[in-house]
């Protein structure tokens, strides 16, 4: 009877234990990302997550010996989700800034980019300095470094933040904003799609880097991610992703003497 009681108690305790996958320490690697940023984080024609960031997440999970689970959400919710433990890492073209480092940790950079400008086709704007003139209006995406840098560098300009990049582009294309401040690859793509009404100033006025977001205190995972990034780069993984998703952008930027983002 004592053995039966002990066995029953053990089974009960086992049944009450929380699965490892739920705890985020084993099972699937839960990766938070906003799937509205092609070709880095997006959905394919069937609605399946795709893009550079998705492939990077899949390769990372494989390196860790864990399946991957993409957790889509708005960009502004990524850091809160990481801090609350709802996701294990964030891979979402997120710039590693000092402000963000106050609440989360970052891996070593996996991409190097910078902020550029989308302006009107017939605008007189040639650089960031031209936006310091009185009466300038800016379109920025909420919770991005474009928004925070605009506040620092252009405090006198009127800034309007939008949750969607396309809304910022339309503000410029339709003449309601003088410029949209965002990363150079996005500016390249949006100018190409709005060539009749916009112009791109692609030389970065602020250089940035993207990294994997990791919760503070999770040093083991941070070391594992850094080791993966170093190995992935040496094995040519980033170069392959660039050729797969960004071949046109790579060719254009290099022709302008601007280093490619994945290197």
Q: Residue 191: is its pLDDT beyond 90?
A: yes
Instruction: Please compute the mean of the pLDDT values over residues 57-86 and round it to a whole number.
Output: 97
Round the CA-based radius of gyration of the chain to a whole number and report it: 22
CATH architecture of 113-208: 3-Layer(aba) Sandwich (3.40)
Fold agreement (19-110+211-255, 113-208): yes
Domain boundaries, the chain: 19-110+211-255, 113-208
Separation between Cα atoms, residue 159 and residue 180, nearest integer Å: 10
The pLDDT score that the predictor gives to residue 257 is 84
Question: Does the structure show a pLDDT above 90 at 253?
Answer: no
Q: Give the pLDDT mean for 56-64.
A: 98
pLDDT score recorded for residue 198 = 98
Say if residue 20's pLDDT is above 50.
no
Express each pLDDT in 193-252 by its tens digit: 999 999 999 988 989 899 999 999 999 999 999 999 999 999 999 999 999 999 998 888
Q: Taking the alpha carbons of 30, 32, 37, 43 in that order, is the dihedral positive or negative?
A: positive
pLDDT of 59? 98
pLDDT at 22 > cutoff 70: no
* pTM for the full predicted model: 0.76
Q: Could you give the CA distance from residue 75 to residue 100 in angstroms, rounded to a whole number? A: 13
- pLDDT exceeding 70 applies to what percent of the chain? 90
- State the pLDDT confidence band at 4, using cuts at 50, 70 and 90: very low
Q: Average pLDDT of 44-71?
A: 97
Residue among 111, 112, 94 at smallest CA distance from 103: 94
Per-residue pLDDT of 115-148, as tens digits, reads: 999 999 999 999 999 999 999 999 999 989 999 9
- Confidence label for 6 from pLDDT (cuts 50, 70 and 90): very low
196: three-class secondary structure by DSSP: coil
Cα dist from 256 to 57, 184, 234, whole Å? 30, 12, 26
The structural architecture, per CATH, of the domain 19-110+211-255 is: 3-Layer(aba) Sandwich (3.40)
- Model confidence at 18: pLDDT above 60: no
Q: What is the pLDDT of residue 255?
A: 86
User: Would you state the pLDDT for residue 8?
Assistant: 43
Cα atoms in the 13 Å half-sphere on the side-chain side of 122: 2
Torsion angle (degrees, nearest 10) of CA 231, 53, 201, 181: -120
């Amino acid at each position: 009877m004592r053995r039966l009681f002990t066995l029953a108690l053990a089974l009960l305790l086992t049944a009450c234990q929380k699965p490892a996958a739920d705890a985020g320490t084993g099972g699937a690697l839960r990766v938070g990302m906003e799937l509205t940023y092609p070709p880095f984080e997006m959905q394919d024609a069937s609605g399946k997550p795709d893009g550079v960031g998705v492939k990077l997440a899949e390769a990372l999970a494989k390196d860790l010996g864990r399946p991957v689970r993409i957790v889509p959400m708005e960009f502004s919710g990524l850091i809160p989700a990481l801090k609350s433990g709802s996701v294990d890492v964030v891979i979402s073209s997120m710039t590693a800034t000092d402000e963000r480092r106050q609440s989360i940790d970052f891996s070593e950079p996996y991409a190097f980019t910078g902020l550029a400008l989308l302006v009107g086709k017939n605008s007189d704007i040639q650089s960031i300095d031209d936006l310091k003139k009185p009466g300038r209006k800016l379109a920025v995406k909420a919770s991005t470094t474009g928004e925070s840098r605009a506040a620092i560098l252009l405090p006198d300009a009127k800034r309007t933040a939008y949750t969607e990049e396309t809304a910022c582009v339309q503000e410029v294309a339709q003449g309601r904003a003088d410029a949209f401040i965002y990363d150079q690859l996005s500016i390249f793509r949006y100018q190409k799609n709005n060539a009749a009404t916009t112009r791109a100033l692609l030389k970065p006025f602020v250089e940035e880097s993207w990294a994997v977001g990791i919760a503070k205190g999770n040093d083991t995972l941070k070391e594992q991610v850094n080791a993966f990034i170093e190995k992935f780069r040496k094995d040519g993984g980033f170069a392959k992703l660039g050729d797969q998703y960004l071949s046109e952008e790579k060719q254009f930027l290099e022709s302008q003497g601007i280093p490619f983002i994945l290197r």
